[in-house]
Each structure stands twice: as C-alpha cells, then as structure tokens.
Amino acid sequence: MLRDRRLEGMKFRRQIKLGRYIVDLICLRHRLIVEADGPHHDPEKDAERDAWLVSQNFRVLRFPNRMIEAGGHEVVGTILAAVNEGVVRD
C-alpha cells in the first residue's frame, strides 16, 4: 500500500536509521513514521523510542501487525487523516 508512491504520491522508505533507532517506514516529506508492532514489542522501550522520535519533530503512528494483515484499510485511513489534518508537517 505504501510502495511506489501509491498513497497520494507519498514516498515511504523502509528500515531507515534515525539516531540509535531503525524505523519501519518513514515519509520524510511529512515527517511521518509508521511502525508495525509484532508480538515482541516492549511498551516501555517503544514509549522511550517514540518520545525521542517526537523530540526530533516526527509523528509516530503505531499499528499492530494483525491490523495491517487484515487489509490495512484502517491503517491507510489513519495515515491519510494525519497528513490531511495538518497534524504532520509538510
């Protein structure tokens, strides 16, 4: 869904290093990070990581893998809403 600028022309990159973290997907233009959370995520470490990313002026959206695997329509809707509401900077 996020490959080849299919989602309203947004370019997402996979597995990009930011500071000491590697993010799942990032759209630099909108400073938007999308994280797919599998069963082995630590909520405390995720919170620390998200706080650092937010301090770097990124917006972080987290989705459980099951939501993504179910077709991802809700994921796409949430991403578009974040961008279109101006929550994410251009």
> What are the residue boundaries of the structural domains of the chain, listed by start?
3-84
**What pLDDT does 88 receive?**
44
pLDDT tens string 26-74: 999 999 999 988 878 788 999 999 999 999 999 999 998 888 877 777 8
> How far is Cα 1 from Cα 76, in angstroms, rounded to an integer?
8
Distances, alpha carbon 52 to alpha carbons 17, 21, 46, 77, in Å: 13, 9, 10, 25
Per DSSP, what are the bridge partners of residue 59?
A: 32
pLDDT of 42: 86
CATH of region 3-84, choose from 3.90.45.10, 3.30.530.20, 3.40.960.10, 3.40.50.880: 3.40.960.10
Q: How confident is the model at residue 86 (pLDDT cuts 50, 70, 90)?
A: low
- Band (10; pLDDT cuts 50, 70, 90): confident
| Better-scored residue on pLDDT, 90 or 77 | 77
State the first-to-last Cα distance of the chain, in angstroms, to the nearest integer: 21
C-alpha count within 13 angstroms, C-beta hemisphere, residue 74:
9
Q: Residue by residue, what is the 3-state secondary structure of 44-59?
A: HHHHHHHHHHHHCCCE
Whether residue 90 has pLDDT greater than 60: no
What's the CA gap between 37 and 64, in Å, rounded? 5
